[in-house]
Chains A and B, each alone.
Chain A
């Protein structure tokens, strides 16, 4: 079974621009979560989507948004990029069970550099 895939793997953008990152979960997984990883702040939760609905959101400004499609693929968008948005953005997919999500499997990440 194929793992979580993320595209693109690397991205360089300029301040003020916007960017869209994509994540394809493991087949059968309907939950997709996004995390931002930086050396200073570590791993921080952005949001989670399940069945095309955002059901959990971290403490990030409204410039960060996402969506999920009917095939469970997810995109996240960052508008008006700031230098501080430079980070590794990780996507994780999860098989939802009767007790909620269980294990999360991570993709390789998208390395975003804002100049």
Chain B
């Protein structure tokens, strides 16, 4: 069975600085999808960025980028120019490609605080 591990329960970053959140996963599949979701306090879960395993190029969405290391089964999220609104729980998630296995497997999450 696939597992997702986020080893940093909490992280802190100064406003305008850069922070990297770690995520590792375990799978025997060669094709899969990886996601980072953001859940602000008492607010909706939002998709931040996605990565297809068959793509070697790291995904980027504005200030958010990933470092996808397939061989190491590592999928870290880098947030550049951190803003106060980035404060939230961040969840790393894995999904198998098959239609009958469409559920997301989540890590425990990393709570990010942004200091002004």
Contact = CB atoms under 8 A, between A and B. Distances in A.
Interface of A: 3, 31, 33, 35, 42-43, 45, 48, 50, 55-56, 58, 90, 92, 94, 96, 99-109
Size band of the interface chain B makes with A:
20 to 34
Main secondary structure of the interface of B (DSSP, over half): mixed
Nearest to A57: B103
Tell which of B100, B103, B107 has the most Cβ of chain A within 10 Å: B103
Interface of B: 33, 35, 37, 43-47, 50, 91, 95, 97-109
Contacts of A96: 99
20 contacts: A33-B102, A33-B103, A33-B104, A42-B107, A42-B108, A43-B91, A45-B104, A92-B104, A94-B102, A100-B98, A100-B99, A101-B99, A101-B102, A102-B33, A103-B47, A106-B45, A106-B46, A107-B44, A108-B43, A109-B45
A94 B43 CA distance: 20
Given A42-B106, A43-B106, A90-B45, A103 B50 contact: yes
Contacts of B45: 90, 92, 106, 109
B24 to A, nearest CB: 16
Contact of B44 (A35, A43, A94, A106): A106
Nearest to B106: A43
A104 to B, nearest CB: 6
A12 B79 CA distance: 38
A56 B102 contact: yes
